[in-house]
Structure 1
Amino acid sequence: MTVLLNPNAYIPFREQLNLDRPLPQFNTPLIIVLGAHSLKVGFPGDLRVKVLQMVSKIKVSDPPKIGNSLSDQEANKTGKSPFQEDLLMQIEHLKDLLQWSFEKIFENNKNITNSSSFPYPVKVAISLTHPEVLNLNIKDLLHNYFSVSDLQLSIGIYML
């Protein structure tokens, strides 16, 4: 018996990439929305989010497995989330998720990810429940690992 899948049927996904539009000017902020179960990265004015990571799970390996490279079995058995409930508890996992997201967005512009400073201002939307120490960890990660010089954290959700 052959089962044909309806191409228009809903199929759950882990990542959605919308990289068809060119990158905006460097003064346009890159927006990161940190949710307990999703990570969104994009620019204002985009019709769709550039990177939507629905299941923010990662398998710790070298290199880490993220997104569609992570099988269902790996996600369920060994997949790790940077969040515990609504709190960011594993900054290392967030680093890997952001690195993966930036590599996807700037895939055709390797000079951006290899640059000594991040060329876009970054705005991060965080949960109201984040204690200040977690916000400091996020700032530290973006400043020191990704060389983001123009960074703003805010409570709430940016519309992406």
Structure 2
Amino acid sequence: MRTATTPAPEADPRIPFPHTNTVLACRTNPALFVHEHGQTSSKEDRDRIERARTACRGCPIAAGCLKWALANPKLTPTGIWAATTSWDRAGLRRRLQIRHGLDWVGVVAAADRDRARRNQARPPAPDPVPAASPMWTSHYQPWREPLTPGQQQRNRELLHLQA
């Protein structure tokens, strides 16, 4: 528990909390996301946790929220963050340390910066081509040069042979 002399933990600046103007379930109903260790014994607790996880799964900032929650364990010791409990997040942090080393937050932050830099350098995607009305399209190109009288005669003869 924090006392008056204990400063509040600071958030890791390498992974900022994601921003959105969208109305989020965690902001409109924060009580749904309150969760302490061991609160899975009753059916009501399990149902509430599942409702919170379902709300997180449809959230537009869930991936960024999870990164932030994982990077800031002192700020997220309890509660549901990006559809994870503190137990889930502890396991994810262990796997990230195994995969990327002790400074896994720096590795993830660097990958995010590189991805953002690549996306800025990428030209905008072209407008999608509207689908042709038939289910198939033809690559047929009409003859661009006029037919000579000899070619016209030959075409007539071929049509008469097939008829």
TM-score normalised by the shorter chain: which range applies?
under 0.3
Q: Normalising to structure 2: TM-score of the pair?
A: 0.23
Q: Say which structure is richer in strand.
A: 1
Q: Say which structure is richer in helix.
A: 2
Specify the structure having the higher radius of gyration (Cα).
Answer: 2
